Amino acid sequence: GQSLEQPSEVTAVEGAIVQINCTYQTSGFYGLSWYQQHDGGAPTFLSYNALDGLEETGRFSSFLSRSDSYGYLLLQELQMKDSASYFCAVRDRKGSYIPTFGRGTSLIVHP
Amino acid sequence: DAGVIQSPRHEVTEMGQEVTLRCKPISGHNSLFWYRQTMMRGLELLIYFNNNVPIDDSGMPEDRFSAKMPNASFSTLKIQPSEPRDSAVYFCASSTDGQGSTEAFFGQGTRLTVV
């Protein structure tokens, strides 16, 4: 089976930097994804890491360490609109992309 | 492309009634997923189709749940009979196939309330 651990809630102020951590235990591992979900909305894709290291996309970056079964999402220059839930998801099967999601982290950005 | 389209957006039904949720995946995507989201259990994978064939239905909670994909552009998730504990948001998602696929595209979800 799979197990993913994320903090349930993180708070920060506008303009700050926040890091959301994810640790996982899976029988197989082929990649780690991050998704954003606003209240009442659908999960939307943010990033995918298959190899160790940092991937940067604008204000958001995602990091993976396969040896530590650990990854994080880094959000810089926080804006109010970044208030949302953030999910890490593992790809635990070779071939098809079938994400298995963690419980999500609620990010609250204060002015 | 309009994205993944789900209907209805909201459904309120009485316990014991049959509920059918519908999904149109993105054209050209040959993987389709049904997820259920609740506060208690988070986002759970119910079933996964590839090329219209159910590949993994181990997440389907009970025999009351069934899913079909009669063609590449349509899938249904049926609950019969429905129970209050089935109340949740049900998401359909689709993606392309193969090792190069790294993203799932979600519909807006169906919020189901069983009273």
3-state secondary structure string, chain B?
CCCCEEECCEEEECCCCCEEEEEECCCCCCEEEEEEEECCCEEEEEEEEECCEEEECCCCCCCCEEEEEEECCEEEEEECCCCHHHCEEEEEEEECCCCCCCCCEECCCEEEEEC
Supply the pLDDT for residue A70.
Answer: 97
Q: Summarize pLDDT for B14-46 with one digit per residue, the tens.
A: 999 999 999 999 999 999 999 999 998 899 999
Give how far B109 is from chain A: nearest CA, Å.
7
Query: In this complex, do A97 and B101 lie within 8 Å of one another by their Cβ atoms?
Result: yes
Asked if B105 reaches chain A (Cβ–Cβ under 8 Å), the answer is yes
- Determine the Cα–Cα distance for residues A97 and B61; give it in Å rounded to an integer: 22
B-chain residues near A33 (CB < 8 A)? 102-103
Which tokens hold the place of A32?
């780690």
Q: DSSP letter for A39, please.
A: T
Supply the pLDDT for residue A52.
Answer: 97
Asked if B82 reaches chain A (Cβ–Cβ under 8 Å), the answer is no
Supply the pLDDT for residue B100.
Answer: 80
Supply the pLDDT for residue B62.
Answer: 87
Q: DSSP letter for A4, please.
A: E
- Determine the Cα–Cα distance for residues B79 and A109; give it in Å rounded to an integer: 38
Give how far A103 is from chain B: nearest CA, Å.
5
Which residue from B93, B52, B101 is spatially nearest to B73, judged by alpha carbons? B52
Transcribe A15-32 into DSSP letters: T--EEEEEEEE-SS--EE
Q: In which residue ranges of chain B is pLDDT below 70?
A: 1
For every one of its 111 residues, what pLDDT tens digit does chain A have, with 9 covering 90 and above? Answer: 678 999 999 999 999 999 999 999 998 899 999 999 999 999 999 999 999 999 998 999 999 999 999 999 999 999 999 999 999 999 988 888 999 999 999 999 999
Supply the pLDDT for residue A18.
Answer: 98
